[in-house]
Amino acid sequence: MTNNVKTPETDLMVETKGKLELFFDKHGNKLLWALIIVGFALSAFFIFKNFSDSRKARNEEAASVAMNNELTGAQSVEGYDKLQEEYEGTEAANTAAYLAAAAALQAGDIEKAEAELANYEAKEGAAGEMLNAKVLGLRGDIAVEKNDLQSAADLFVKAAEASDDEHTYVTYSKKLALVYEAMGDAAKAQECYKAIVAKYPSQERAMAKMIR
């Protein structure tokens, strides 16, 4: 709550205020123009400083908008390829490589999916780690389609550990368990389900039917 009680002014404060008022009466116009000039100078400096990065920033912004538009509809592999070509070198193009691979695999074109993933570059940061995990998981899915179950298991292990995100860990740990079951190793499959509950107790109910 604001205190509205005003502290009495001392003689020193009154004298100081008087000197300041006289100073601004005498030099006010000069100070005003000086401030205006400094303001323009600072503006020019920051404009010049950011000019070299402005094109890249616009490209990134345009790429993000384009990617959002792409994600709002069911896009084909060709659509994502076009996005990669148009925004080459941006985060959007990198994400498009993953999306194109996922679309190709869904269409049953394993060779095309692998070719698309060859365009993906692993990224850092929380968001990058999640996408890296998805790429590893997609490689695992491709290995399953090729009936290379051991490679699929190795990839799902890496995918589960690639990000601290709960959904990511649970998704790929469950896929890992299914691969172990397909390999006839029920014990390792159970270890996966129990590891999920141990790491995320909130998943206990969801894993109840799987844990024996």
Enter the pTM of the model: 0.66
Backbone Cα Rg of the chain = 30
φ/ψ of residue 123, rounded to 5 = -120, 160
Distance, CA of 134 to CA of 155 (rounded, Å) = 10
* pLDDT tens sequence for the chain (212 residues): 444 444 444 444 444 445 445 544 554 555 454 544 545 444 444 444 454 455 555 565 555 555 555 544 446 788 888 877 877 877 778 888 888 899 899 899 999 999 999 989 888 777 778 889 999 999 999 999 999 999 999 999 999 999 888 999 999 999 999 999 999 999 999 999 999 999 999 999 999 999 98
Domain at 124-212, CATH from 3.40.30.10, 1.25.40.10, 3.40.50.880, 3.50.50.60: 1.25.40.10
What pLDDT was estimated at residue 68? 55
Q: Are 189 and 167 spatial neighbours (Cβ–Cβ below 8 Å)?
A: no
Give the end-to-end CA distance of the chain in Å, rounded to a whole number: 61
Residues contacting 102, CB < 8 A, separation 6+ = 113, 138
Q: Where are the domains of the chain?
A: 56-66+74-121, 124-212
What pLDDT was estimated at residue 113? 94
Q: 100-134: b or e for each residue (b if 16 or more CB lie within 10 Å)? A: bbbbbbeeeeeebbbebbebbeeeeeeebbbbbbb
Residues contacting 40, CB < 8 A, separation 6+ = none
Distance, CA of 164 to CA of 167 (rounded, Å) = 9
Residues contacting 143, CB < 8 A, separation 6+ = 149, 151, 152, 155
